[in-house]
Structure 1
């Protein structure tokens, strides 16, 4: 400000001060203050932007707390209630499932294996707590065992739902359990669901029960009544 102040006085003791119009004086002061020496300790652009952001957040919070019943405390209670509701919904519904667009994918891969092989693989996965793989292998074991018993025709590309529908014909008493097992297989393999020990145990029990059940074979066509 020394340079600007010097414009307002004249060197010498007794001479009257020099009067300068307002606009030139302002411009002279602005030129003086624009020198780098006056801005060495100014905050950086990032810090200034961050300060502006927090000012905006503070204004927003103040406006919201003024509108909410109970002021700031009421706003905090509302926010906590919304968070609690969101957590409750997440806990009840789980993560969003992907649409099972591949639910018609084949039950088996390109490596033909026996029912015993699939059961052994299922048991090995279960022993390690890999329930997703264990459930899938047990479902494959169930269907492969029906093919080995000539109750289902070996058919590449068969889906779990198709297998359940076909298996329900010789085992009508297990229709619901077979379709439930097929849905579990599709949900785990293609829908992003996670299997549990309970899922595997139910499917294992169904596989064992079907293996021990005598199928209800259709009567030969044209047989006498």
Structure 2
């Protein structure tokens, strides 16, 4: 209900008498008549809709909040802006840091995400992916083939929850000549699987060569007994 609307309503009530005849309408009936007059839609056609009123209320509260914050902050608005800029920089720094952490490969996940197949089956799957130029899954399957082949030769104790890093360290004991290459293969597997980095043709070639060499490698004695049955 606007001031202009009230004035118009009162004017319409006063218009019923001449200029020289005083209006002696009682106060209560006059008020009721004015209220009835103001219910006319003509006086409300420019009123804000409910959404606009809600938005106006929201921004008024936001303005009150910022005014209160600026009054409580040393330096007023300048101090508040300085604090806001610092918070923004802190958020950006945290975002960059978290992004870097997320890109850093981790090898804490299990090497096998399903019931392991035989080494030959993983090797065949790896070659199939490589033939299609899908180097990431090819590298993953080749690494699984390497680990399972070592388990089949009893150079590794079967462990469904084993990680690539753990397999590389364990296999490096009876096969010290290949320990560095095993760790490098595990690192590549982790970067591709958990770091989401795409694999390359050269990396697959390195794992394939390692797989071939390990199949012909002679293990060293560990604790006075050979670790291999093959």
Q: Tell me the TM-score range normalised by the shorter chain.
A: 0.5 to 0.7
CA RMSD of aligned residues (A): 4.5
- In structure 1, the gaps of 5 or more residues are none
Residues 1:143 and 2:147 aligned together: yes
* Structure 1 counterpart of 2:127: 120
Residues 65 and 75 of structure 1 are in contact (CA less than 8 Å); yes or no, is this contact kept in structure 2? yes
1:70, 1:60 → 2: CA distance?
16
Residues 1:171 and 2:178 aligned together: no
SS at match of 1:28: helix
* Structure 1 counterpart of 2:3: none
Equivalent runs, 1:1-225 vs 2, <5 Å: 4-5=10-11, 11=17, 15-18=21-24, 20-21=26-27, 23-94=28-99, 103-104=109-110, 106=112, 109=115, 112=118, 114=120, 116-117=123-124, 119-120=126-127, 123=130, 131=136, 133=137, 136-147=140-151, 150-152=153-155, 157=160, 159-160=162-163, 163-164=167-168, 166-171=170-175, 189=193, 193-195=195-197, 201=203, 204=206, 208=210, 211=214, 214-218=218-222, 219-220=224-225
TM-superposed CA distance for 1:39, in Å, is 1.0
Residues 147 and 153 of structure 1 are in contact (CA less than 8 Å); yes or no, is this contact kept in structure 2? yes
* Structure 1 counterpart of 2:4: none
TM-superposed CA distance for 1:49, in Å, is 0.8
TM-superposed CA distance for 1:83, in Å, is 1.7
Residues 122 and 138 of structure 1 are in contact (CA less than 8 Å); yes or no, is this contact kept in structure 2? no
List per-residue Cα deviations over 1:122-142 (Å, max 9, x = no partner): 7568x56x65x4553342133
| Residue-pair matches, total | 210
Residues 142 and 207 of structure 1 are in contact (CA less than 8 Å); yes or no, is this contact kept in structure 2? no
SS at match of 2:174: coil
Residues 70 and 80 of structure 2 are in contact (CA less than 8 Å); yes or no, is this contact kept in structure 1? yes
- In structure 2, the gaps of 5 or more residues are 1-6
